[in-house]
Chain A
Amino acid sequence: MISYIGKRMIAVIPIVLFATLVTFALIHISPVDPAEAYLTAAHIYPTPEILEQKRHEFGLDQPLLTQYMQTLQRISRLDFGTSYLTNKPVWDEVKVRLPATAELALSSMLLSIVVSIPLGVLAAIRKNGWIDMLSRGVSYVGASIPQFWLGYLLIFFFSVRLDLLPVEGRGTWQHLVLPTLTLSFVLIALYTRLLRSSVLEQLQETYVQYARTRGIRERIIMLKHVLKIAIAPLITGMGMNLGKLLTGTIIVEQVFSWPGFGRYFVEAIFNRDIPVIQCYVFLAACLFIVCNLLVDLVHLYMDPRISAKGRAER
């Protein structure tokens, strides 16, 4: 098992390197020169001399390979340069904003788990019953409604009409409610359907029939046997979505004026704040890789046959 984990960890290195290479390449093939982007963001008119000066300052007059190596060195020290817009180190700016985004992502993840597990299981047990219909409705709406629109709807009803919750901002638990609902709605839709079908699949298995003939109570069969296996695809889904959530809060942060990482990134895109974009893409790549690894490790933990298989193959 340890060697499996070790192997997976080593495999992360080339993927991260590839991510840095792609980011580096994307910035260099973009039609806008980073030095010009800097000056535009700072509202400075790009005269040829000042462009030249900035290009030299940013090392853009160096050969591409040197530039890439320097980028790698800097990234390894978590130095993503200075934001063109604020003139502050990017990593410092990101560090301040990450907790807000993490808070939103985790609360959404938690809410989606709390709602979708019972809903998915009940929908499978009471197939075609009203709860199944409800879960189908939720999934249908959740999968098709654009997040920003759902955000507006929630603000309109709960804040403007009913005056129950704040429209925007962060600070109290009330501020967390609407953005969490907005973000988790699509997850609930996804997880409920996933769990429903995987529970239904397991219910067809012979071990369930065997358990039933042994006279084990239905609830015990469900909790101790079926759910344990049926939950595996859900864990995969959640793992993949955690990365997506941490990077995908952009729209929700924008709508609810949530002072997080996503909103910072949107502003960076509009201003071509390249160091920030580079940092964001790099972190997003790392997050996805780590989440992927975590999912695999959880699977390994739940089903030791995976590592046994690995050993057998060796």
Chain B
Amino acid sequence: MSVRHRKTTTLMLVAILLLSVILGCAKQEDTPASTSMNGAANEKSITLSWPRDIGTMNPHVYNPSQLFAQSMIYEPLVSYKQGGKLEPALAESWTISKDGKTYTFKLRKGVKFSDGTPFNAAIVKKNFDAIMKNDKTHSWLGVVGVLDKTEVVDDSTFRLTLKEPYYPVLQDLSVVRPFRFLGEAGFPDDGDTSKGIKKPVGTGPWMLDEYKQDEYATFKRNPNYWGTAPKVDKIIVKIIPDSETRVMAFEKGDLDLIYGEGVISLDAFKQLRDTDKYVTKLSDPVGTRSLLLNSSNPKLSDLRVRLALQHGFNKQAMVEGVTSGLEEKADTVLSKNYPYTNVDLQPVGYDVEKSKALLDEAGWKLPAGGTVREKDGQQLDFELIFDKTDPIQKAMAETIQAEWGELGVKVNLTGLELTVQIKRLRSNQFDLYFWYNYGAPYDPHSFINVIAKKSFGISEVLSALPMKKNLDQQVHEALSSTDETKRQELYASILKTLQEQSAIVPISYIKKTAVYQKKITNFVFPANRDENPFDGIEIGK
């Protein structure tokens, strides 16, 4: 063979190889996704998108499993409803001993897991034990720290005993993870669910049907569900990481529903709302965007300075400008839709003159010809750290910098990666910081807990308040009190102190957004921030 021929043959071989690789890869025409997503014509299904893969669907572990999907399959003993009302779920009723240390749950009878096996006290205990085997992992949840023992009283009675009274036990049991129940068939041989489960078996209204990692997951109705069956047959979740793509898939009609927190940009939400072709909804507040003024910084330890800063920026204008009015101006750190938070508190309004007067009074004066206030040769300057990937935080930080600049307060902005930002919060290395509370069902008890408990960063922020010790004492009493009236009084006092001290400055209430095609009816945001809204949804004509 001549050299030329050899070359041509080799090149051809390479080309054929390349082509076969591509064709081999592309030859997967009918994937389960394309067949099942078109589905049977009479099947009622809803397609939505989620930014991340639904994860392993293990009820007892956290990332990467997605909360909304876990809440479709697994159920709690007690369910959290609007306004903080606790309703029976897998527990039909419960009694709390007088000393607040023993909780006895009467389990709902006749409940079956999706595989047909019975739900009883033994499986409840098995789940609790598996969770408590890794109690360090769950130490963030108050009940984990006070849980002493679990008992099977009889087939349908389960008892929890605490080391000390802790009132939010039921709220903690209503959260999506870890206290939800996996069926026997899902447990690994050694019973340690922290390493993985065999299959997702729950008692919830849905069960996982088809799943392809990073691409899609479909859920169908659980035929053994004890409650009212969902109206639609199927929920299809497409994994679309990019928010603009998500919006375009929705506009094309590939998606019926986009729902969640920050799943599409506020601009996109507004644009979809303005077309009038779809239904758009905003939820009640699910959390508060606040600014922490670190009182352990000597300049910020002065109440007058903190108050001046809060008086010194126009929250209303900022919320309208930066979030297009989709978040609501916040006057109090906790919105009033949680238990115990409907307290009459005096808002700290926008008042530039008052702000300037307070700074003057605190001794921070503008030097002749200068733009930054000074005291004892020191400038009034602060570092505001923010998550550089969050466009809202960035815009708000810039607005605050400009508004406080007018008052003679210099703000240096530092954009950080989220992990570094959290690290700085926990090690108390910051002046000003954007912070969010946890939402329902975690608040208000988780909120007051971090006020008193060190190492979350919030207790440290408040450390220089003169009444800090008293505040901590009140928090402890509120969490362990068994007297409802006393608890309400304590909450009112704690919230009043925080409002007056102005170290946690509320900016806006964050809301969930939902956009859906007009054929969908009965969409209601769940009261629990992490749960799913699918059970009541219907499809009209």
Contacting residue for A168 out of B7, B56, B238, B420, CB 8 A: B238
Give the chain A neighbours of B423 by CB distance below 8 A. 31-32, 36
Contact, CB under 8 Å: B64 / A168: no
**A201 contacts partner chain B, Cβ-Cβ < 8 Å:** no
Contact, CB under 8 Å: A171 / B33: yes
Taking CB atoms and an 8 Å cut-off, the chain A residues in 256-275 that contact chain B are 256-257, 259, 263-264, 266-267, 270-272
Indicate whether A106 sits within 8 Å of B213 (C-beta atoms), given known contacts A45-B139, A160-B251, A167-B252.
no
**A227 contacts partner chain B, Cβ-Cβ < 8 Å:** no
Q: How far apart sit A99 and B27, CA to CA, in the bound complex (Å)?
A: 12
- Closest Cβ neighbor of A266 among chain B residues: B241
Contact with A along B245-259 (1 / 0, CB 8 A): 100110110100000
Contact, CB under 8 Å: A167 / B249: yes
Indicate whether A96 sits within 8 Å of B241 (C-beta atoms), given known contacts A44-B137, A172-B29.
no
Contact, CB under 8 Å: B252 / A267: no
Give the chain A neighbours of B56 by CB distance below 8 A. 86-87
Give the chain A neighbours of B254 by CB distance below 8 A. 166-167
Which of these binds chain A: B18-26, B74-82, B351-359, B405-413? B18-26
Contact, CB under 8 Å: B62 / A167: no
Give the chain B neighbours of A255 by CB distance below 8 A. 242, 244-245
Indicate whether A50 sits within 8 Å of B136 (C-beta atoms), given known contacts A86-B64, A171-B34, A259-B213.
yes
Give the chain A neighbours of B55 by CB distance below 8 A. 86
Q: How far apart sit A41 and B63, CA to CA, in the bound complex (Å)?
A: 7
Contact, CB under 8 Å: A264 / B214: yes
Best-surrounded residue of A85, A254, A257, A266 (most CB of chain B within 10 A): A257
Q: How far apart sit A98 and B350, CA to CA, in the bound complex (Å)?
A: 55
Contact, CB under 8 Å: B25 / A99: yes
Give the chain B neighbours of A43 by CB distance below 8 A. 62-63
Contact, CB under 8 Å: B240 / A155: no
In angstroms, how far is the closest chain A Cβ from the Cβ of B313? 30
**B52 contacts partner chain A, Cβ-Cβ < 8 Å:** yes
Contact, CB under 8 Å: A152 / B422: no
Q: How far apart sit A74 and B181, CA to CA, in the bound complex (Å)?
A: 38
Interface size, B (range):
35 or more
Taking CB atoms and an 8 Å cut-off, the chain B residues in 452-478 that contact chain A are 455
**B390 contacts partner chain A, Cβ-Cβ < 8 Å:** no
Contacting residue for B62 out of A44, A96, A106, A301, CB 8 A: A44
- Closest Cβ neighbor of A33 among chain B residues: B423
Q: How far apart sit A137 and B179, CA to CA, in the bound complex (Å)?
A: 61
Contacting residue for B213 out of A96, A168, A176, CB 8 A: A96
**A76 contacts partner chain B, Cβ-Cβ < 8 Å:** no
Give the chain B neighbours of A170 by CB distance below 8 A. 215
Q: How far apart sit A72 and B55, CA to CA, in the bound complex (Å)?
A: 30
**A207 contacts partner chain B, Cβ-Cβ < 8 Å:** no
Give the chain A neighbours of B18 by CB distance below 8 A. 106, 110
Give the chain A neighbours of B28 by CB distance below 8 A. 171-172
In angstroms, how far is the closest chain B Cβ from the Cβ of A168? 5
Q: How far apart sit A43 and B167, CA to CA, in the bound complex (Å)?
A: 24
In angstroms, how far is the closest chain B Cβ from the Cβ of A291? 15
Q: How far apart sit A155 and B245, CA to CA, in the bound complex (Å)?
A: 8
Best-surrounded residue of A171, A254, A256 (most CB of chain B within 10 A): A171
**A173 contacts partner chain B, Cβ-Cβ < 8 Å:** yes
In angstroms, how far is the closest chain B Cβ from the Cβ of A255? 5
**A40 contacts partner chain B, Cβ-Cβ < 8 Å:** yes
Give the chain B neighbours of A271 by CB distance below 8 A. 63
Give the chain B neighbours of A103 by CB distance below 8 A. 22, 25-26
Q: How far apart sit A39 and B143, CA to CA, in the bound complex (Å)?
A: 20
Q: How far apart sit A283 and B18, CA to CA, in the bound complex (Å)?
A: 21
**A49 contacts partner chain B, Cβ-Cβ < 8 Å:** yes
**A42 contacts partner chain B, Cβ-Cβ < 8 Å:** yes
Contact, CB under 8 Å: A257 / B419: no
**A102 contacts partner chain B, Cβ-Cβ < 8 Å:** yes
Give the chain A neighbours of B63 by CB distance below 8 A. 41-43, 85, 271
In angstroms, how far is the closest chain A Cβ from the Cβ of B220? 20
In angstroms, how far is the closest chain B Cβ from the Cβ of A31? 5
**B286 contacts partner chain A, Cβ-Cβ < 8 Å:** no
In angstroms, how far is the closest chain A Cβ from the Cβ of B129? 19
Contact, CB under 8 Å: B419 / A272: yes
Contact, CB under 8 Å: A254 / B241: yes
In angstroms, how far is the closest chain A Cβ from the Cβ of B263? 14
**B121 contacts partner chain A, Cβ-Cβ < 8 Å:** no
Q: How far apart sit A177 and B127, CA to CA, in the bound complex (Å)?
A: 48
**A47 contacts partner chain B, Cβ-Cβ < 8 Å:** yes
Q: How far apart sit A16 and B418, CA to CA, in the bound complex (Å)?
A: 31
In angstroms, how far is the closest chain B Cβ from the Cβ of A55? 14
**A37 contacts partner chain B, Cβ-Cβ < 8 Å:** yes
Give the chain B neighbours of A266 by CB distance below 8 A. 241
**A61 contacts partner chain B, Cβ-Cβ < 8 Å:** no
In angstroms, how far is the closest chain A Cβ from the Cβ of B454? 11
Contact, CB under 8 Å: A40 / B419: yes
Best-surrounded residue of B31, B212, B249, B426 (most CB of chain A within 10 A): B249
In angstroms, how far is the closest chain B Cβ from the Cβ of A162? 10
Taking CB atoms and an 8 Å cut-off, the chain A residues in 147-205 that contact chain B are 152, 155-156, 159-160, 163, 166-173, 176
Q: How far apart sit A172 and B37, CA to CA, in the bound complex (Å)?
A: 14
**A107 contacts partner chain B, Cβ-Cβ < 8 Å:** yes
Contact, CB under 8 Å: A47 / B455: yes
**B201 contacts partner chain A, Cβ-Cβ < 8 Å:** no
Contacting residue for B252 out of A53, A160, A259, CB 8 A: A160
Q: How far apart sit A45 and B215, CA to CA, in the bound complex (Å)?
A: 30
Taking CB atoms and an 8 Å cut-off, the chain B residues in 364-423 that contact chain A are 417-420, 422-423
Indicate whether A173 sits within 8 Å of B248 (C-beta atoms), given known contacts A37-B419, A47-B455.
no
**B61 contacts partner chain A, Cβ-Cβ < 8 Å:** yes
Contact with A along B209-221 (1 / 0, CB 8 A): 0001111100000
Contact, CB under 8 Å: A87 / B136: no
- Closest Cβ neighbor of A36 among chain B residues: B423
Q: How far apart sit A131 and B248, CA to CA, in the bound complex (Å)?
A: 34
Contact, CB under 8 Å: B241 / A167: no
Residues of A that sit less than 8 Å from B by CB: 31-32, 36-37, 40-47, 49-50, 53, 85-87, 96-97, 99-100, 102-103, 106-107, 110, 152, 155-156, 159-160, 163, 166-173, 176, 254-257, 259, 263-264, 266-267, 270-272, 301
- The contact sample of 11 A-B pairs, CB cut-off 8 A, is A44-B137, A86-B55, A87-B195, A97-B214, A169-B215, A169-B216, A173-B26, A176-B26, A257-B240, A263-B214, A266-B241
13 other A-B residue contacts (CB within 8 Å) besides A106-B21, A167-B245, A171-B29:
A37-B419, A42-B62, A44-B137, A97-B214, A100-B25, A102-B21, A102-B25, A152-B248, A156-B248, A166-B254, A168-B240, A171-B34, A259-B212
The 3 residue pairs across chains A and B that have the minimum distance between CB atoms? A43-B62, A103-B25, A259-B214
